[in-house]
Amino acid sequence: MKTATDPGLAKGPGPAAVPPARSTRPRRVPLLRVLPLTPAVVLLLLFLAGPIAYCAYIAFTDLQLTGQAEDSFVGFENFTTAFGDDAFLNAVWLTLVFTVISALVGQNTLGLALAALMQRASKPVRTLVGGIVITAWVLPEVVAGFLLYAFFRREGTLNAVLDWLHLPTQNWLFTLPILAVSFANVWRGTAFSMLVYSAALNEIPKEITEAAEVDGAGGWRRLWHITLPMIRRSIGTNLMLITLQTLSVFGLIWVMTRGGPGGRSQTLPLFMYEEAFQKSMIGYGTAVALLLLVVGSLFSVVYLRLLRTEV
């Protein structure tokens, strides 16, 4: 756990003994020292920074896939088109719904609940439940998509269960596609929050909760006044990370609904894909991608700030 959350940026323990060595080593060394960084830096510049810069460029052009001699600079036209495009606004709205339901409410709350219950549960149950939830998370995205597709189909397991309970059934992927893919994302992603919160809860000293228990504080009050405040940084980090993950979900939705029916589960990544490839509007699709990237970067910066205060 420590390895991943503790940035140790300012004071990495490694170079502690460096100052004397530095004075004995001559000045030419720094160049040799950065040499091992070059393969990584070249790879990152060419294949990560390059596309990002290119993204920022073609978002302002009318580049298309085929049949166009030259793309030309169109300024903010793609963006003004986007904000007047009902399909785009629909995708923004669905992305918000998807993120709030599946990440902020679903994964986060369920993950915390599972982690909290696991603190008290007996060991065999804990191992079993942890194993099941984590398996759902480790499965490849496309496989998860097929499993949940089968689960939510009209002939699928969910309706079978509802039938058995004498509850009304429906064709989930048609009537409530965005809800179905949101639940699919909860199924697939909850393990992450569960692991983050399990680690956070393990770090709360036993004496504190025990003292509160002896003083007669009930479960909910302990949770509200002690547990949550003590893990609030983990909550912040977790919310940022699962939001970022959820914003870039593509395969799961693609396999389950293709964004349909009628765009009713088309979140921004799927909208971007459709505009760029099925409608050949690369420039427009990239403008949408750039917006997604900017939102992602903002969350990323907040995440960095949270990490820094955690040290």
Partner 1 sequence: MPRTLSSRRSSHRLAADAGLLVVAAAFVLPLAWVVLSALDPHADLRVKLPDGLTLDNFDAVMTPDITFTPLLNSLLLCGGGTLLTVACAALAAYPLSRFRSRLNRPFLLTVLFATSLPITAIMVPVYALFVQVNLIDTMEGTIFFFAASQLPFAIWLMKNFMDGVPKELEEAAWTDGASSLQSLVRIVLPLMGPGVAVVTVFSFVMMWGNFFVPFMLLLTPDQMPAAVSINEFFGNRGTVVYGQLAAFSILYSTPVILLYVLVARRLGGGFALGGAVKG
Interacting residues with partner 1 between 64 and 83 (CB under 8 A): none
177, 257 in Cβ contact below 8 A?
Answer: yes
176 interacts with partner 1 by CB under 8 A: no
- In the list 52, 89, 96, 211, the residue contacting partner 1 (rule: CB under 8 A) is 52
Burial class (CB in 10 A: 0-12, 13-18, 19+), 13: exposed
Q: What's the DSSP call for residue 61?
A: B
Q: Does residue 51 belong to the site contacting partner 1 (CB under 8 A)? A: yes
DSSP alpha helix (H) spans, the chain: 2-5, 18-24, 29-34, 38-44, 50-58, 77-83, 86-98, 108-120, 123-138, 141-152, 157-164, 172-175, 177-202, 206-214, 219-222, 228-230, 232-247, 251-256, 268-273, 282-310
Quick count: other Cβ atoms within 10 Å of Cβ 207?
8
Q: Which residues contact 260 (CB under 8 A, 6 or more apart)?
A: 177, 266
SS3 per-residue string spanning 199-252? HHHHCCCHHHHHHHHHCCCCHHHHHHHHHHHHCHHHHHHHHHHHHHHHHCCCHH
> Is 48 a binder of partner 1 (CB under 8 A)?
yes
Stretch that binds partner 1, among 83-91, 93-101, 173-181, 289-297 (CB under 8 A): 289-297
Q: Running DSSP on this structure, what letter comes out for residue 195?
A: H
- Please give the size of the binding site for partner 1, defined by CB under 8 A: 119
Residue window 80-109: x/- pattern of binding to partner 1, with contact defined by CB under 8 A: ------------------------------
Q: How far is the CB of 200 from partner 1 (least distance, A)?
A: 8
Among 88, 98, 172, 187, binds partner 1 (CB under 8 A): 187
Position 298 contacts partner 1 (CB under 8 A): no
Residues 232-271 that bind partner 1 (CB under 8 A): 240-241, 244-251, 254-255, 269
Q: How far is the CB of 112 from partner 1 (least distance, A)?
A: 12
- Which one among 27, 120, 166, 206 touches partner 1, defined by CB under 8 A? 120
Interaction between residue 13 and partner 1 (CB under 8 A): yes
Q: Does 117 bind partner 1 (CB under 8 A)?
A: yes
269-288 residues near partner 1, rule: CB under 8 A: 269, 272-273, 276, 282, 285-286
Residue from 112, 173, 191, 235 touching partner 1 (CB under 8 A): that is 191
**Under the criterion CB under 8 A, does residue 167 sit at the interface with partner 1?**
no
Q: Which is nearer to partner 1, 5 or 90 (CB)?
A: 5
Which of 233, 240, 237, 235 lies closest to 295 in space, CA to CA?
240
